[in-house]
């Protein structure tokens, strides 16, 4: 028998290739972070530690099972290094919070590695189907955040689902499309490399053990930080994936709930009401114009340095409301707040703030007003917006859609007004106005140049974008002038109020950005202040003594902060319509009127 051969000496190079060296190398920084945090820890025990204990027990169980089955405890070192490289690259490219705090990057890298391993054990190649949309959406969020100041949340997704083709095309710029294609290629490459690496694992148990260990390390690094430094967003990608799923579900719920709220409201005519002013056939015209995205501070009527409202600011019979707060950044919710007795938007949890009756147009129709509605191009779509606005205007004798720019509706409005010279009319108008993509103005006579709606890095094209927006406000001023021109010789009231504002670089936001963000809550930004005014004809004051008194009180109250919630009751009070739904404290024509007291920018907390 030969002598036993001595075991070959292991070289230093083989040590560097070992799994032991891998864990020693990658755990240095996390362990330092953990030790430093524990030394300064004031509450060494919290309800989060049992989760870490469960992960630790699962790791122990995995090692025991691997030993009994004769399987590798962990994957080979080469696989672990490649996995670390892929997770780090993906984290740095996709994670919005990767570099927020020094300890956050190792937390998310280890959690990413853990999720990759565990999902591969459970789903194999099917796990890549889950990673595909997640990685793509995270890359899209990076672009959206750095260009427009927004993250993907339920309101952003809800607005995207309901966006018009023109609005979507504004953001589908060549560069954005190129980045989207690049993101797709990057995602495919990531999936390909990931699949090639993971299928080399000798056993599922080794990947399972590795996944549990990585999740445990990442979780520990996160929870040992002081509570005031810790945020759920830092536990990427687990929390982010959950938030995206919930955001999509909430977006669908948001759109459907808005529709159902409008459809399920009882008609205000089901309760007794009366009108003390008009008897019918006085030829009075009430125009209710819900504008689109017009900010109060971009109207020269309110002191803006550019003359965006040259006609309006010269009208002697105009009552202006420079401090008007919109109820919501969503068109449909704003319309519900304007036309019903709602106090706030649909997500407000206080029952007393929710509408209890339907559209105020129904009451005017019940008291002899023929209602005609004039919409913009958007209402030709089968979207949430169309369903809500059609419910709110269902008492209309007829509806008209402007096929192109809002000016194309002027002949239709003139035709209706002229065909009903003796009838009391309610003309409802809702057109695109200043909504993204700021296309609705006369390009040949635009006063502010150069103008272009360039939403590819809009901050770099701020002058052109702001010029385009100001041109739309100027266009709206001319549109209103032309509508009023058709009303000459008739007693009329023209009430204009915008649904919401638009972000134009103020507060660091652009376009329809930051909807629902806690950092940039809509009512903490300048975008919630919207244009509102009332124009009347001298003939209207003479129809009934009540009108002159009501308009005088309205002028007195015009310096107070008003909101969408005042419109329903103000229309009733102006025309002397009594109903159980009327609230004098929300009637701008009443001495009992109380100013808006809800959320608004601090700098605009006016009396």
pLDDT for position 306? 95
Residue 485 or residue 402, greater confidence: 485
Q: How far is CA 444 from the centre of its chain?
A: 33
What are the Cα distances from residue 568, in Å, to 111, 337, 358, 563?
Answer: 52, 8, 10, 11
Judgement on whether residues 218 and 310 belong to the same structural domain of the protein: no
pLDDT tens-digit map of 558-582: 999 999 999 999 999 999 999 999 9
Does residue 22 lie in a domain region?
Answer: no
What's the average model confidence in pLDDT over 416-424? 95
Interior/surface letters 437-458, b for 16+ CB within 10 angstroms, e for the rest: bbbbbeeeebbbeebebbbbbb
**Is pLDDT of 174 > 50?**
yes
Q: DSSP states of 118-154 as a string?
A: HHHHHHTTHHHHHHHHHHHHHHHHHHHHHHHS----H
pLDDT for position 30? 62
Judgement on whether residues 529 and 407 belong to the same structural domain of the protein: yes
CB 336 within 8 A of CB 355: yes
**Is pLDDT of 606 > 70?**
no
Judgement on whether residues 376 and 233 belong to the same structural domain of the protein: no
Would you call 188 helix, strand, or coil by DSSP? helix
Total structural domains in the chain?
2
Average pLDDT taken over every residue of the chain: 83
Does residue 9 lie in a domain region?
Answer: no
Would you call 232 helix, strand, or coil by DSSP? helix
Judgement on whether residues 582 and 498 belong to the same structural domain of the protein: yes
Does residue 529 lie in a domain region?
Answer: yes
Would you call 15 helix, strand, or coil by DSSP? helix
Q: Which of 251, 267, 302 is the last residue of a domain?
A: 251
Q: Which of 231, 251, 271 is the last residue of a domain?
A: 251
Does residue 271 lie in a domain region?
Answer: no
Judgement on whether residues 239 and 341 belong to the same structural domain of the protein: no
**Is pLDDT of 516 > 80?**
no
Expressed as residue numbers, the domain containing 49 is 31-251
Judgement on whether residues 239 and 315 belong to the same structural domain of the protein: no
Q: Output the pTM of the full model.
A: 0.77
Alpha-carbon span 535 to 495, nearest angstrom = 7
Does residue 543 lie in a domain region?
Answer: yes
Judgement on whether residues 301 and 216 belong to the same structural domain of the protein: no
Q: Which of 251, 272, 297 is the last residue of a domain?
A: 251
What's the average model confidence in pLDDT over 276-299? 94
Q: Which residues are CB-neighbours of 212 under 8 A, at least 6 positions away?
A: 55, 58, 59, 62, 114, 118
Judgement on whether residues 291 and 241 belong to the same structural domain of the protein: no
Judgement on whether residues 179 and 116 belong to the same structural domain of the protein: yes
Does residue 349 lie in a domain region?
Answer: yes
421: DSSP letter: S
Judgement on whether residues 184 and 48 belong to the same structural domain of the protein: yes
Judgement on whether residues 196 and 304 belong to the same structural domain of the protein: no
pLDDT for position 162? 64
Judgement on whether residues 228 and 366 belong to the same structural domain of the protein: no
């Amino acid at each position: 028998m030969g002598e036993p051969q001595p075991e070959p000496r292991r070289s230093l190079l083989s040590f560097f290739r070992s799994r032991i060296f891998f864990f020693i190398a990658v755990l240095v920084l996390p362990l330092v972070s953990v030790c430093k945090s524990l030394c300064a820890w004031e509450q060494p025990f919290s309800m989060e530690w049992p989760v870490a204990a469960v992960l630790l027990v699962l790791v122990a169980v995995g090692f025991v099972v691997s030993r009994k089955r004769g399987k590798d405890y962990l994957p080979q070192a080469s696989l672990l290094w490649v996995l670390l490289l892929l997770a780090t690259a993906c984290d740095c490219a996709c994670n919005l919070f990767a570099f927020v705090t020094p300890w956050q990057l190792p937390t998310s890298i280890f959690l990413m590695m853990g999720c990759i391993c565990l999902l591969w054990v459970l789903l194999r190649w099917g796990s890549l189907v889950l990673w595909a949309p997640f990685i793509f959406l995270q890359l899209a969020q990076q672009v959206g955040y750095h260009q427009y100041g927004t993250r993907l949340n339920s309101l952003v997704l809800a607005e995207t689902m309901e966006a018009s083709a023109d609005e979507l095309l504004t953001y589908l710029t060549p560069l954005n499309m190129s980045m989207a294609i690049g993101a797709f290629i990057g995602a495919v490459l990531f999936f390909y490399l990931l699949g090639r690496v993971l299928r080399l694992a000798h056993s599922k148990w080794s990947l399972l053990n590795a996944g549990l260990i990585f999740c445990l390390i990442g979780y520990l690094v996160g929870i040992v930080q002081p509570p005031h430094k810790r945020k759920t967003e830092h536990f990427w990608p687990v929390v982010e994936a959950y938030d995206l799923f919930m955001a999509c579900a909430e977006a669908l719920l948001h759109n459907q709930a808005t529709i159902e709220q409008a459809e399920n409201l009882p008609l205000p005519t089901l309760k007794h009401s009366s009108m003390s002013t008009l008897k019918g056939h006085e030829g009075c015209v009430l125009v209710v114009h819900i504008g689109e995205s017009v900010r109060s501070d971009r109207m020269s009527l309110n002191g803006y340095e550019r003359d965006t409202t040259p006609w309006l600011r010269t009208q002697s019979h105009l009552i202006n409301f420079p401090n008007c707060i919109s109820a919501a950044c969503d068109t449909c919710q704003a319309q519900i707040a304007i036309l019903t007795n709602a106090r706030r938007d649909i997500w407000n949890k206080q029952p007393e703030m929710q509408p209890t009756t339907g559209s105020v147009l129904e009451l005017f129709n019940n008291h002899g007003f023929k209602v005609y509605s004039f919409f913009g191009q958007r209402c030709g779509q089968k979207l949430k917006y169309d369903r809500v606005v059609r419910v709110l205007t269902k008492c209309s004798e007829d509806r008209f859609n402007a096929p192109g720019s809002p000016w194309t509706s002027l002949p239709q409005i003139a035709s209706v007004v002229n065909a009903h010279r003796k009838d009391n009319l309610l003309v409802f108008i809702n057109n695109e106005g200043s909504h993204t993509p700021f296309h609705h103005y006369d390009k040949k006579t635009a006063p502010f140049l150069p103008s272009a709606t360039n939403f590819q890095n809009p901050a770099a094209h701020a002058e052109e974008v702001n010029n385009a927006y100001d041109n739309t406000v100027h266009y709206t001023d001319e549109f209103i002038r032309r509508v009023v021109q058709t009303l000459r010789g008739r007693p009329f009231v023209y009430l204009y109020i915008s649904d919401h504002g638009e972000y134009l670089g103020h507060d660091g936001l652009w376009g329809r950005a930051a909807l629902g963000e806690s950092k940039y809550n809509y009512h903490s930004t300048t975008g919630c202040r919207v244009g509102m005014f009332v124009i009347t004809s001298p003939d209207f004051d003479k129809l009934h003594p009540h009108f002159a008194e009501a308009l005088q009180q309205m002028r007195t109250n015009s310096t107070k902060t008003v909101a969408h919630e005042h419109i329903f009751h103000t229309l009733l009070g102006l025309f002397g319509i009594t109903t159980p739904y009327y609230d004098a404290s929300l009637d701008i024509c009443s001495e009992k009127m109380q100013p808006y007291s809800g959320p608004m920018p601090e700098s605009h907390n006016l009396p």
